[in-house]
């Protein structure tokens, strides 16, 4: 029986303070990833056993403050208040102390059991920065432990302090900042009023609540308004606002912020000594290039291009290998299963469904390794700064560009990559833009149709035009959303340029591994279910008449005295024709017939309607569905299919263009829709968006078809 005593530690800190590095160094492989309750922000939790203690570590989202303006700030604050961890470890970047200590001050105000982990002390020493730790501890009332998470230095000392704080062996004095006289007077008055509510007094720190009310904190307002004392509290707040306006021509919130800055600035002056800068550093020389007004944008495109080249160059052979492995698995498993529905659902449904997800995994891992490298190195912040001006013309944030570029590979990691955006409106606008990018799954459709109906030289131009059309519609959609329903709550772009660092291999691999696991858990289960659903819809109900015809004709062909090869060919054609008939008879086929009146103005018939429905599972399925319908077997041969489509009276250059435009713009695959719902947090906006993209796709295809009929 374990005798471990448990301690819960929450890691809080600014982005790029080394919080995740510390989390990885402490917990190693004992980690799990989930979401914080009610939101889509990742929750990283792990544990370690140290000196007969089991220490659970929760890595809170990186945040600059504890005001409830971003999801990260709200999650961090709620966790500290509601979960009440035994110790809060504030990870502070030693080389950027003044900015980091602003969060420390706000943690002090919460009067939690606080430890400060002064990280990157190796860089502090390299830069010749002298920090008076004893004096700093006196000012902040908390023990400060110097560490280097990247080099695993000082971790035992930090853990010893965690145990000592948890056991009460170290006194956290919980120093209070003294604000301006008018603010302190208002805090005292409001705190006294709040203490009259027993339930409120027992649940929260009244001084902190009073400060937050003076800061116009929406969450605390909602919390206090539930109690009768709110009437008197509101009067006290109005008095404080009037008094601050009369004496200082400003409001209490501004005074509180000024006082915090003054406290931190004073602590810096008293405790930190920096060497005088004598010459430009290597970082300064790099910034002269990457932040240059002329060179910055080309360098950014070059870096992104290199990441994609690396991703798809290295990933393609791995994808092919996985594709081959799943094909081999199907061939191995199929003979051991009874022929018919059981074999079909396992081979065509389960194995193919899982395979269609897993084959994308190498590219996803490589892409996220590249993005993690850029993020950890400090370049991503500079890239966002460079691209911000262009993206702002369409209402998007500079960081939106990275998910949009990622969308050319696959919408799922691209949507997940929007988590780097703090503002919900920026994140939503970017998510709604990504499905218009031409993901890799749409490429087989373009290749099939452009190759079948246009000469080679023109086919490349057609495909290039389709890609440009997707970008244009995506940016227009972003502008439309940010001008209307997502107009408010936009994140101001604050340039935070962390120093350049060489990321550790472990941290880059860790981030990629986490993303890969989430991809498999979320998209894998969704697409597997969808593929099985579509398999059922494409196979049921079955026509008894067609089954009888198949049996009758098979028996007749078997009796023919012809060469075995010719007999096999006739049987194959018969099965393909019967299968096409069953598809038309199935639920999916009937759906195509039902859709035909709606899509006929676009130049499509019911067969294309079926392909568009099944294409919701994955856009590549459009090609294989067309192949099945045109009786060339379950696996589409694109060359043969091209010839058949050219000879079909339904298809023309106008139809091909219209279909490419529709596939580009209509609803993304079900896996992307599922991940979109996960990121957005509700079905209503996703359903609204689906209706929007369907409308846009229909209108764009209609215009394309009609113009093409006139000119071709």
Tell me: is residue 584 an annotated ligand-binding position.
Answer: no
DSSP 148: B
**C-alpha span between 398 and 660 (Å, rounded):** 30
How far does Cα 220 stand from its chain's mean position?
29
Around Cβ 502, how many Cβ atoms within 10 Å? 10
514, HSE (Cβ side, Cα atoms, 13 Å): 21
20 among annotated binding-site residues: yes
Asked if residue 251 belongs to a known ligand binding site, the reply is: no
Tokens of 689: 């968006």
Single out the residue of 402, 410, 328 nearest to residue 370, CA to CA: 402
Q: How far is the C-alpha of 601 from the C-alpha of 307, rounded, in Å?
A: 42
Instruction: Name 157's Cβ contacts closer than 8 Å, sequence gap at least 6.
Output: 145, 147
Contact predicate 32/45, CB 8 Å? yes
212 annotated ligand-binding residue = no
According to the annotation, is 157 in a ligand binding site? no
Distance CA 481, CA 475 (A): 10
Q: Is 56 annotated to bind ligand?
A: no
**Dihedral (CA of 508, 512, 513, 518) sign:** positive
Alpha-carbon radius of gyration of the chain: 31
Spell out where 70-150 has E strands.
87-93, 114-119, 130-131, 144-146
Measured in whole angstroms, the distance separating CA 185 from the mean position of its chain's CA atoms is: 45
- Residues whose CB falls within 8 Å of the CB of residue 273, separated by 6 or more in sequence, listed in order: 129, 130
38 annotated among ligand-binding-site residues: yes
- Distance (Å, rounded) from C-alpha 279 to C-alpha 285? 11
Helix (H, G, I), strand (E, B) or coil at 374: helix
State yes or no: 27 annotated in a binding site.
yes
90 is in an annotated binding site: no
120 carries a ligand binding annotation:
yes
| Residues 16 and 27 sit within 8 Å (Cβ to Cβ) | no
444 is in an annotated binding site: no
Task: Flag whether 122 is marked binding.
Answer: yes
**Residues in CB range of 569: below 8 A, 6 or more apart:** none
The reply, when asked if residue 395 is annotated as ligand binding, is no
Over the range 352-385, which residues count as b (16 or more CB within 10 Å of their CB) and which as e?
bbbbbbbbbbbbbbbbbbbbbbbbbbbbbbbbbb
Residue 275 annotated in ligand binding: no
Does the annotation flag 6 for ligand binding? no
The one-character DSSP state at 90 is: E
3-state secondary structure of 11: strand
Q: Which residues, at least 6 apart from 398, have a Cβ–Cβ distance to it below 8 Å?
A: 383, 384, 385, 386, 387, 388, 389, 391, 392, 493
457 is in an annotated binding site: no
Residue 17 annotated as binding? yes
CA distance 261 to 253: 13
Contact 399, 420 (CB under 8 A): yes
Cα(22)–Cα(17) distance, integer angstroms: 10
Phi then psi for residue 59, to 5 deg, are -90, 100
Q: Is 41 annotated as a binding residue?
A: yes
**CA triplet 124, 125, 128: central angle to 5 degrees?**
90
Cβ 68 vs Cβ 94: under 8 Å: no
338 is in an annotated binding site: no
And the tokens for 551? 């049996």
Task: Return binding residues.
Answer: 13-20, 24-25, 27-28, 38-42, 59-62, 119-122
Annotated binding site for GTP: 13-20, 38-42, 59-62, 119-122
Binding residues for Mg(2+): 24-25, 27-28
């Amino acid at each position: 029986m374990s005798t471990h005593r448990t301690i819960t530690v929450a890691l809080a800190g600014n982005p790029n303070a080394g919080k995740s590095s510390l989390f990885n160094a402490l917990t190693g492989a004992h980690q799990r990833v989930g979401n914080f309750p009610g939101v889509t922000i990742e929750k990283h939790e792990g544990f370690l056993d140290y000196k007969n203690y089991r220490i659970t570590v929760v890595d809170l989202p990186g945040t600059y403050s504890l005001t409830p303006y971003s999801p990260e700030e709200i999650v961090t604050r709620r966790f500290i208040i509601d979960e009440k961890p035994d110790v809060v470890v504030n990870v502070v970047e030693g080389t950027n102390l003044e900015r980091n200590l602003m969060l420390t001050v706000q943690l002090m105000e919460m009067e939690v059991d606080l430890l400060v982990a002064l990280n990157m002390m190796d860089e502090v020493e390299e830069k010749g920065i002298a920090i008076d730790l004893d004096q700093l501890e006196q000012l902040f009332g908390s023990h400060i432990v110097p560490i280097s998470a990247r080099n695993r230095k000082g971790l035992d000392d930090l853990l010893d302090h965690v145990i000592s704080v948890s056991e009460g062996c170290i006194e956290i004095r919980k120093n209070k900042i003294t604000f301006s006289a008018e603010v302190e007077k208002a805090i005292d008055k409001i705190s006294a009023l709040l203490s009259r509510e027993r339930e409120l007094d027992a649940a929260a720190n009244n001084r902190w609540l009073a400060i937050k009310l003076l800061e116009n904190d929406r969450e605390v307002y909602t919390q206090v308004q539930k109690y009768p004392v709110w009437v008197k509290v509101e009067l006290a707040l109005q008095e404080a606002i009037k008094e601050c306006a009369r004496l200082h021509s400003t409001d209490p919130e501004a005074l509180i912020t000024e006082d915090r800055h003054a406290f931190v600035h004073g602590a810096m002056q008293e405790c930190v000594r920096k060497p005088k800068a004598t010459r430009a550093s290597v970082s300064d020389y790099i910034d002269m290039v990457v932040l240059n007004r002329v060179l910055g944008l080309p360098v950014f495109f070059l870096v992104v291009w290199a990441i994609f080249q690396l991703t798809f160059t290295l990933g393609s052979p791995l994808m092919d290998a996985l594709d081959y492995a799943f094909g081999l698995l199907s061939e191995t498993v199929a003979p051991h299963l009874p022929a018919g529905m059981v074999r079909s659902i396992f081979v065509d449904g389960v194995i193919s469904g899982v395979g269609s997800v897993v084959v994308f995994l190498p590219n996803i891992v490589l892409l996220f390794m590249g993005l993690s490298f850029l993020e950890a190195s400090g370049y991503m912040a500079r890239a966002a700064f460079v691209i911000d001006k262009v993206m702002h013309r369409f209402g998007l944030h500079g960081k939106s560009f990275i998910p949009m570029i990622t969308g050319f590979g696959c919408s799922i990691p691209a949507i997940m990559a929007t988590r780097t955006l703090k503002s919900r409106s920026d994140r939503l606008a970017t998510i709604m833009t990504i499905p218009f990018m031409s993901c890799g799954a749409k490429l087989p459709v373009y290749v099939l149709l452009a190759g079948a109906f246009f000469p080679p030289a023109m086919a490349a131009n057609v495909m290039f035009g389709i890609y440009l059309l997707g970008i244009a519609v995506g940016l227009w959609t972003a502008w439309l959303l940010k001008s209307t329903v997502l107009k408010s709550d936009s994140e101001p772009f604050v340039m935070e340029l962390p120093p350049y660092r060489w990321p550790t291999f472990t941290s880059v691999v860790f981030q990629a591994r986490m993303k890969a696991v989430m991809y498999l858990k979320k998209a894998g289960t969704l697409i597997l279910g969808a593929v099985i659903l579509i398999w059922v819809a494409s196979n049921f109900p079955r026509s008894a008449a067609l089954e009888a015809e198949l049996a009758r004709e098979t028996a007749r062909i078997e009796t023919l005295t012809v060469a075995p090869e010719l007999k096999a060919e006739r049987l194959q054609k018969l099965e393909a024709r019967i299968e096409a008939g069953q598809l038309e008879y199935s639920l999916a086929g009937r759906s195509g017939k039902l859709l035909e009146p709606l899509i006929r103005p676009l130049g499509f018939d019911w067969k294309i309607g079926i392909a568009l429905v099944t294409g919701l599972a994955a856009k590549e399925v459009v090609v294989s569905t067309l192949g099945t319908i045109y009786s060339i077997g379950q696996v589409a041969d694109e060359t043969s299919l091209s010839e058949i489509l050219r000879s079909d009276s339904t298809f023309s250059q106008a139809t091909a263009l219209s279909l490419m435009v529709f596939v580009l713009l209509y609803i993304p695959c079900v896996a992307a829709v599922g991940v979109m719902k996960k990121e957005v947090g509700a079905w209503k906006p996703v359903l609204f968006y689906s209706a929007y993209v369907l409308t846009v796709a229909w209108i764009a295809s209609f215009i394309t078809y009609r113009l093409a009929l006139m000119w071709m």
